[in-house]
Amino acid sequence: MEIEFLFWDGCPSHPEARQLLDDVLAARGLDVEVHVREVFTQAEAEELRFPGSPTIRVDGRDVDSEGSTARPALNCRIYHRPDGRPSPVPTREQLEAALP
């Protein structure tokens, strides 16, 4: 399993998202390396198909398929919760559902 954690430092929610990801992995007993990459430029955002910070992918699939289609950009990401409210981080359920 490959997990990518992409972020832009200008967005303050990436530490919370990383902690949530680590908590979910620990709760599942998964000892997996998380590939962390900071995105610095718009060109990198486009090359990486980076829809905003933070972006988490498991085996190449975004944990929020709805948000993954946003235009690549250096900005804070909006995750779509099941209740329709926006969030700067994915839900625990979204992360759990993305893991095998």
Angstrom distance (rounded) from CA 55 to CA 70: 11
Query: How confident is the model at residue 69, as a pLDDT?
Result: 87
Q: What pTM does this model have?
A: 0.94
Angle at 77 between CA 92 and CA 10, to 5 degrees: 115
**Residue whose C-alpha is closest to residue 63's, from 10, 20, 13:** 20
Tens digits of per-residue pLDDT, 29-52? 999 999 999 999 999 999 999 999
If you average pLDDT over residues 67-92, what whole number do you get? Answer: 91
State the pLDDT confidence band at 100, using cuts at 50, 70 and 90: confident
